[in-house]
Amino acid sequence: MIAENTIETTKIWSLLQEVSDPEIPVLSVVDLGIIRNVTATDDEVKIIITPTYSGCPAITRIEWDLRIKLAENGYKNVSIVSRLSPVWTTDWMSEQGKQKLKAYGIAPPNDTQSVCSPDLFVMDEAVQCPLCNSYNTKLVSRFGSTACKAFYQCKDCSEPFDYFKCH
Partner 1 sequence: MITEKEQLVSFVLHLADDSLVLGHRNSEWTGHGPILEQDIAISNIALDLIGQARNFYQYAAALKADGATEDTLAYLRDAMDYKNALIAELNKGDWAVTTLRQFFFSTSKFYLYQQLQNNSDTTLAAIAEKSLKEVTYHLRWSAEWVIRLGDGTDESNARVKTALEYLWPYTGELITPASYEQAQPGIDFAALKKNWTNHVLQVLEQALLTPPVNDWMQSGGKQGIHTEHLGYLLAEMQYLQRSYPGCEW
At closest approach, how far in Å is the CB of 74 from partner 1? 29
Q: What SS3 class is residue 97?
A: helix
| Residue 53 binds to partner 1 (criterion: CB under 8 A) | yes
According to CB under 8 A, which one of 87, 103, 126, 132 is a site residue for partner 1? 87
Cα–Cα distance between 167 and 94 in angstroms, integer?
Answer: 15
Residues near partner 1 (CB under 8 A), total: 27
| Residue 144 binds to partner 1 (criterion: CB under 8 A) | yes
According to CB under 8 A, which one of 14, 85, 95, 123 is a site residue for partner 1? 85
Distances (CA, A) of 27 to 1, 43, 50, 101, 161: 36, 29, 16, 7, 17
According to CB under 8 A, which one of 26, 78, 80, 140 is a site residue for partner 1? 140
Other Cβ atoms closer than 10 A to 152: 24
From first CA to last CA, the distance across the chain in angstroms is 38
Cα–Cα distance between 118 and 31 in angstroms, integer?
Answer: 28
At closest approach, how far in Å is the CB of 137 from Zn ion? 7
| Residue 121 binds to partner 1 (criterion: CB under 8 A) | yes
| Residue 118 binds to partner 1 (criterion: CB under 8 A) | yes
Contacts with partner 1, residue ranges (CB under 8 A): 51, 53-57, 83-87, 116-121, 140-147, 151, 167
